Homo-oligomer: A and B are copies of this chain.
């Protein structure tokens, strides 16, 4: 079954916001078993909405449209729906009661004309109840295509998709399973990887699609297949993907889009080790990565963000003379930061970052882009120097990658 996604909103076309709704819907519809043939972002204009709906008519089975619904005057979708389906707006009692309750009981004010208009829906529409807001979703069919319109506010849209839309789609369609398996290969370019895999790729079963997704420092390989027997497809993809480690000489780090930090955390947990961090130029990002998932307290003892030089001395306990002798961006300071963090937080491993992320020089004479990452564990203490260029954001990102790689190596030493 085919699906397409339309998002309405000038805020997307001028680049003011990133269209995360389409990504959510694509992921969700793919998991349900639809083949998404295109995603289209268009302007808040009657003409653009009509043209986009005509484009999808009989091209796909389901079109999910977000945005263009809400109480204010820039909302046009309902009128376009009436024209497109030759329908009229009528007040829906359930929606009206819900809007009234929400406004009067929750916001403690009388319901307005604008609010009342929210309860108007095309008479032929199946209403998709919006428990979390005032604008309802709706579904109408023309010829072979279902058109579904949802509000653009992400949490309202998701609520309707999961509670209201999913059962309706499952009822109407017999869907297949889309299965994807991803393997991430670090430290090797796309073309070299493709050479290593050339013969393997030529022998892939015809039902399996392969895609290369290169990004800085890594290539993700995705295998995809579709069918009615989910277990059989998973087995087929796993067999293919398991052949890869013996074909590439580089280190394979992760399956299924696990991030570097996921891999490090899994390894820490598997080995029963704890970690702490002392951060300067990374400003708390390592702590965020270690703490954001549930169950972090099992391995993450804590961290310090000693941004000011005085904090490195007074709070973290780096020796003043070390900083005076070697400067705040130095191997020695990175080592002391790691050692102090390990001792203060009583962790098995500690990682520290100190560097000059730029764009201008900070408290140190070090060049912009120079970073030291320090590691302390019972195996000893050391620091590595990196020259990470510019801009600032890149220096911070790369420092995080290098720090996670060093932590990973330290765990493997055990």
Contacts and interface: CB of A to CB of B under 8 A. Distances in A.
Contacts of A29: 15
A325 interface: no
A118 B107 CA distance: 60
B314 A307 contact: no
B307 A302 contact: yes
A239 to B, nearest CB: 21
Nearest to A20: B18
Nearest to A304: B304
A210 to B, nearest CB: 7
Given A15-B26, A112-B191, A296 B288 contact: no
A109 interface: yes
Nearest to A391: B294
Interface stretch (A68-76, A162-170, A230-238, A331-339): A68-76
A203 interface: no
Interface stretch (A122-130, A260-268, A356-364, A405-413): A356-364
A14 B257 CA distance: 14
Contacts of A115: 191
B48 A42 contact: no
Contacts of A258: none
A259 to B, nearest CB: 13
Interface residues of A, number: 106
A227 interface: no
B302 A73 contact: no
Given A210-B74, A304-B303, A15 B30 contact: yes
B302 A291 contact: no
Nearest to A283: B291
Contacts of A284: 279, 284-288, 291, 303, 305
A144 interface: no
B224 A10 contact: yes
A362 B297 contact: yes
8 contacts: A13-B26, A16-B213, A18-B18, A72-B190, A72-B191, A283-B290, A296-B307, A304-B304
Given A16-B27, A114-B195, 14 more contacts: A10-B211, A13-B26, A15-B26, A22-B41, A40-B41, A134-B191, A283-B287, A283-B290, A284-B303, A300-B308, A302-B304, A302-B306, A303-B307, A314-B344
